[in-house]
A and B are shown apart, each in its own frame.
Chain A
Amino acid sequence: MIHNISYFIREVIINLRRNVLMSMASISTVMILSLILGFFIIIVVNLNYWSENIVRQLQIVVYISDGMNEKQIGILKSSLDTTPHIDRIKFISRDEALKLMKERLKNQFEISDIGKNPLPNSFEVVVTEPDKIPKVAAMIKTYPGVEKVRYGEKIAGKLLVINRAVHWIGIIIILALFLSTMFIVSNTIRLTVFARRREIAVMQLVGAANWFIRWPFIMEGILQGFLGALISILLIRIIYSYFMPKIETALPFLTLVSFNSLFTAVSLIILCTGIFVGATGSLISVNRFLRFKQIHF
């Protein structure tokens, strides 16, 4: 067994060296496709992150009827507390609301002369899942002491739709890219095996068992997939760390996902895809030629 493994490793290295062009074809195909796949994953993750961030800022404002005393407000708060899908609740007293408003409109006009505070007491409610906002808002509306519930119905609805679209389109693009990567890479590897089909027939004639023929090819496929993936990961790393600061300075409102948190996941996906595609691509094509019987007359 050990003898065989060392033989296979020698075979793989020799074959890579002697079939340089073919090996380069497979490796660069894996590299280019992984590069595209990797960047799309990064773009999609960033878009998702961005749109999630926006949606997360959505909240429900619950205006409390005038004339509710502290005890009644306390009851309302406890019923909010027991409402499902609510993450956080913050009480904003009418005084605080006025202060906030003054701050916000500081430079626009003077409101200190508005004699009586017209603002009501309110709760700011953050929901666990943005999708649930309309449902939760409708429920809160029925509670006693609630005068009005606001969550920017129209905008929130649109944002939610966009957010969901970004999410699904991202998944679809990545899946499509993933499948085409698999297809193209396994085709390229199939071509490299095809170029050596006569060799496979000779090996069989000399009395090589099928597994003995198969393994070096599979290991070669794995190595090619691995090398292609590795190069593309390095390139992604270099390009992303070069461009990320530039994008962040140019578009300050756009917070990008830090590369380090993404890098491990993207690398793993690319490496696994490369290795898997390399192995299955060679396995499928070698098996085809192992079963292939040439008939001469």
Chain B
Amino acid sequence: MIEMHGINLVYPNGVQALFDINLYVEKGEFVFLVGTTGSGKSSLLKLIYREVVPTSGDIYVNDRDITDMKRREVPYLRRRLGVVFQDFKLIPHKTVYENVAYALEVTGTPRREIRSKVSRVLELTNLEGKNHRFPHEISGGEQQRTSLARALVNSPTILLADEPTGNLDPESSWEIIQIFDEINKGGTTILVATHNREIVDMMRKRVIVVTKGRISVDQEKGLYFPVNGCSQACEEENK
């Protein structure tokens, strides 16, 4: 599903964000990426939706090598992924409905199909009745659910989330994570980069700790601070 071999990533300003990353995520897995700010977990996600291109190494997404992908092929990759961000990235002058529908408009989906798919996904994310609201008229939690609805409306095989609960209160955060869990049960692969210790510990999913651009711990049913073999990362966090 997602494979990375020997990934190094150096940004144009010379900062190396990732060092020799090897990663394998199977279809239907639920993975938490944890680590301090600047550890490289966001960069790791960006590689998958090709916001950045690795300096060296190979990345396979859905069995397709995306490192040599042409620019005009990138939109097609992104349509098969759902991405959720900390700052929601909604289009401010589009309504909730239009924001979600946009992900289908870009694929040329017929209007009738758009209508039924959008209302289904708005139901799943508990946003019924908010269709005609603009992002600034709804709460942070609702904005994040809108962004999640947009990520899901194309029925992606992989869902990526970069600090999805970073701007939310605990209740809204929990609501989001439960939707993730539900989607995951339907077979969608999920990668969540997070700082939210409570959620990670509660879910007991695979936890990958990224420390200074390297994967330091990779545990099934892990905790935010791994019990065995606490790495340098968690020691740093413990301080």
Interface residues of A in 1-53 (CB under 8 A from B): 3-4, 7, 14-15, 18-19
Pick the contact of A207: B78, B90, B91 (CB < 8 A): B78
Residues from chain A with Cβ under 8 Å of B17 in the complex: 297
Question: A205-B83, A206-B150, A209-B106 known; A18 and B93 CB under 8 Å?
Answer: yes
> Is the Cβ of B38 less than 8 Å from the Cβ of A207?
no
> Is the Cβ of A3 less than 8 Å from the Cβ of B78?
no
Residue of A nearest to B76 (CB): A207
Interface residues of B in 110-144 (CB under 8 A from A): 110-111
A208 at interface by CB-CB < 8 Å = yes
> Is the Cβ of B78 less than 8 Å from the Cβ of A205?
yes
Our count of residue pairs bridging A and B at CB distance below 8 angstroms stands at: 63
> Is the Cβ of B93 less than 8 Å from the Cβ of A15?
yes
Pick the contact of A206: B78, B92, B98, B108 (CB < 8 A): B78
B190 at interface by CB-CB < 8 Å = no
CA distance A198 to B91 in the complex (A): 8
Pick the contact of B91: A202, A209, A296 (CB < 8 A): A202
Contact-residue size bin, chain B (C-beta under 8 Å from the other chain): 20 to 34
Q: How near does chain B come to A211, taking the closest CB pair, in angstroms?
A: 9
> Is the Cβ of B79 less than 8 Å from the Cβ of A207?
yes
Residues from chain A with Cβ under 8 Å of B38 in the complex: 297
Residues from chain B with Cβ under 8 Å of A205 in the complex: 49, 51, 78, 83, 89
> Is the Cβ of A203 less than 8 Å from the Cβ of B83?
no
CA distance A18 to B92 in the complex (A): 10
A199 at interface by CB-CB < 8 Å = yes
Contact-residue size bin, chain A (C-beta under 8 Å from the other chain): 20 to 34
> Is the Cβ of A207 less than 8 Å from the Cβ of B42?
no
> Is the Cβ of A295 less than 8 Å from the Cβ of B11?
yes
Q: How near does chain B come to A9, taking the closest CB pair, in angstroms?
A: 13
Residue of B nearest to A8 (CB): B105
Interface residues of A in 161-179 (CB under 8 A from B): none
Q: How near does chain B come to A63, taking the closest CB pair, in angstroms?
A: 80
Residues from chain A with Cβ under 8 Å of B154 in the complex: 207
1/0 contact string of A179-206 vs chain B (CB within 8 Å): 0000000000000000000110111111
Q: How near does chain B come to A220, taking the closest CB pair, in angstroms?
A: 13
CA distance A14 to B51 in the complex (A): 29
CA distance A297 to B107 in the complex (A): 30
CA distance A217 to B38 in the complex (A): 36
Question: A295-B12, A297-B38 known; A207 and B89 CB under 8 Å?
Answer: no
Q: How near does chain A come to B111, taking the closest CB pair, in angstroms?
A: 8
> Is the Cβ of A3 less than 8 Å from the Cβ of B42?
no
A212 at interface by CB-CB < 8 Å = yes
B227 at interface by CB-CB < 8 Å = no
> Is the Cβ of A297 less than 8 Å from the Cβ of B75?
no
Question: A15-B93, A295-B52 known; A208 and B75 CB under 8 Å?
Answer: yes
Pick the contact of B106: A14, A18, A203, A293 (CB < 8 A): A203
Q: How near does chain B come to A286, taking the closest CB pair, in angstroms?
A: 15
B60 at interface by CB-CB < 8 Å = no
Pick the contact of B103: A199, A201, A206, A210 (CB < 8 A): A206
Residues from chain A with Cβ under 8 Å of B89 in the complex: 198, 201-202, 205
Q: How near does chain B come to A50, taking the closest CB pair, in angstroms?
A: 52
Question: A297-B15, A297-B38 known; A206 and B106 CB under 8 Å?
Answer: yes
> Is the Cβ of A207 less than 8 Å from the Cβ of B103?
yes
CA distance A7 to B114 in the complex (A): 12
Among A19, A199, A201, the one with the most B-chain Cβ atoms within 10 Å of its Cβ is A199
Among B12, B91, B150, the one with the most A-chain Cβ atoms within 10 Å of its Cβ is B91
> Is the Cβ of B75 less than 8 Å from the Cβ of A207?
yes
Residue of B nearest to A212 (CB): B106
Residues from chain A with Cβ under 8 Å of B106 in the complex: 203, 206-209, 212
> Is the Cβ of B11 less than 8 Å from the Cβ of A199?
no
Q: How near does chain B come to A135, taking the closest CB pair, in angstroms?
A: 64
> Is the Cβ of B90 less than 8 Å from the Cβ of A202?
yes
CA distance A53 to B51 in the complex (A): 67
B102 at interface by CB-CB < 8 Å = yes
11 residue pairs from A and B, CB less than 8 Å apart: A203-B106, A205-B83, A205-B89, A206-B150, A207-B77, A207-B79, A207-B103, A209-B75, A210-B75, A295-B11, A295-B12
User: Which are the 3 A-B pairs with shortest beta-carbon distances?
Assistant: A207-B78, A207-B79, A208-B106
In the complex, besides A203-B91, A207-B79, 14 extra interface pairs with C-beta distance below 8 angstroms are A3-B111, A19-B93, A198-B89, A199-B93, A205-B83, A205-B89, A206-B102, A206-B150, A207-B76, A207-B78, A207-B103, A207-B154, A295-B12, A297-B15
